[in-house]
Amino acid sequence: MKISIINGPNLNLLGQREPGIYGNQTFDAFFLELQAKFPQITFDYFQSNIEGELIDRLQQVGFSSDGIILNAAAYTHTSVGMGDAIKAIDTPVIEVHISNTFAREDFRHTSYITPNAKGLILGFGMDSYRLAVQSFL
Ligand code: DQA
């Protein structure tokens, strides 16, 4: 099974960005742990701060991967283009968020991803990604 993880803007700063909300772990460190937990899965990982690059990546892996785990970060709340990209591809997408976006500012309660995603996992810290992997299994 092949699973693609895609992270959006500012998630390259995990580990140093607002640790009270997003924790102290870098994504690279977490990704090593995740790969060790699921040795039977082939993972690939992509992060960008640029909306168009995230759409390109969805199109790139969206016809070959078995599952996509997408944390679109701030673009979740703004990007019609990312929502349309999910509709356009074949691979099912699980939307994840580290924080509970519904317990935060109102603008974070809107998602252009959710209506097109297979499911949504949020609020479990980095464990949201593991739960998403588990859901594909
Ligand atoms: C986030 C939540 C978003 O509202 C925010 O813009 C992020 C991270 C999360 O994982 O909790 O950058 O997607």
Q: Taking a C-beta distance cutoff of 8 angstroms, is the pair 51, 75 a contact?
A: yes
Query: Each residue of 21-37: pLDDT tens digit?
Result: 999 999 999 999 999 99
How far is it, in rounded angstroms, from Cα 111 to Cα 35? 28
Determine what percent of the chain is predicted with pLDDT higher than 70: 100
pLDDT for 129: 98
User: 74 CA to middle of ligand 1, Å?
Assistant: 6
Helical residues (DSSP H) of the chain, grouped into ranges: 19-22, 27-37, 51-61, 80-88, 127-136
Among all chains, which residue has been given the structure tokens 């699921």? 38
Domains defined for the chain, CATH in brackets = 2-136 (3.40.50.9100)
Q: Taking a C-beta distance cutoff of 8 angstroms, is the pair 85, 62 a contact?
A: yes
pLDDT for 75: 98
User: 117 CA to middle of ligand 1, Å?
Assistant: 16
Q: Which two tokens stand for residue 101?
A: 């976006």
pLDDT for 24: 96
Kindly name the residue from 22, 75, 112, 129 that is annotated as catalytic: 22
Parts of the chain with a pLDDT under 50: none
Determine if ligand 1 sits within 6 Å of the CB of residue 74: yes
pLDDT for 14: 98
User: 97 CA to middle of ligand 1, Å?
Assistant: 6
